[in-house]
Chains A and B, each alone.
Chain A
Amino acid sequence: ELKVEQNPLFLSMQEGKNYTIYCNYSTTSDRLYWYRQDPGKSLESLFVLLSNGAVKQEGRLMASLDTKARLSTLHITAAVHDLSATYFCAVGNTGNQFYFGTGTSLTVIP
């Protein structure tokens, strides 16, 4: 079974600071997705990464994928309070599933 690990699980950061969330997965895949979930809400798609070396940016968030290292990163630049949420990475596999990481709960404090 494909395993997806995220770290850190919990992240408290000050506004204006930068940080990176890591997503490691256990078997070969070239499809990696990042989602955001606000408390009590559904999951919102943030990024779709479909090839080695893919990099996508939206506002203060930037995601990248290294399929050889089986690693994706979600980098946060100059955090603001509105980014407080739980972030999930998910990996697609040839078995037609999405496997989710455990999530990173981000709190941005003033």
Chain B
Amino acid sequence: NAGVMQNPRHLVRRRGQEARLRCSPMKGHSHVYWYRQLPEEGLKFMVYLQKENIIDESGMPKERFSAEFPKEGPSILRIQQVVRGDSAAYFCASSPLPGGNTEAFFGQGTRLTVV
């Protein structure tokens, strides 16, 4: 059973471009979470999704950021018109049960650098 797979591992974008981050949860997991980690800081919750539904997006910036988890395929975190402040590590986690009821398993992260 492969773990949570994120790609790409590293992503460089110029200011104004779009960034797409992908996350394939562990097999059998239908709950996906995205977190952002700035250097030397903790993890900030962004969004919690189940298949085809956004359950909680209270941590998502109101503009430029969106997330989806389609019926087929990976979850996608999309950042439009990136700015330097978007540079961070973005981690995806998945769990087999609703959030908080069981441990979440994390992917290796995507390190986004905006130049």
Residues of A within 8 A of B43 (CB): 43, 88, 100
> Is there an interface contact between B103 and A48, defined as CB atoms closer than 8 Å?
yes
Q: Mark A19-59, 1 if CB is under 8 A from B, else 0.
A: 00000000001010101000001111100100000000000
Residues of B within 8 A of A96 (CB): 31, 48, 55-56, 98-100
Residues of B within 8 A of A103 (CB): 41-42
Residues of A within 8 A of B80 (CB): none
Give the interface size bracket for A toward B. 20 to 34
Once the chains are docked, how many angstroms separate the CA of A94 from the CA of B56? 12
> Is there an interface contact between A97 and B101, defined as CB atoms closer than 8 Å?
no
> Is there an interface contact between B108 and A97, defined as CB atoms closer than 8 Å?
no
Q: Mark B40-52, 1 if CB is under 8 A from A, else 0.
A: 0111110010000
Once the chains are docked, how many angstroms separate the CA of A29 from the CA of B99? 13
Once the chains are docked, how many angstroms separate the CA of A104 from the CA of B56? 27
Of all chain A residues, which has the CB nearest B102?
Answer: A48
Residues of B within 8 A of A35 (CB): 106
Q: Which residues of B contact A (CB under 8 A)?
A: 31, 33, 35, 41-45, 48, 55-56, 91, 93, 98-109
Q: Which residues of A contact B (CB under 8 A)?
A: 29, 31, 33, 35, 41-45, 48, 88, 90-103
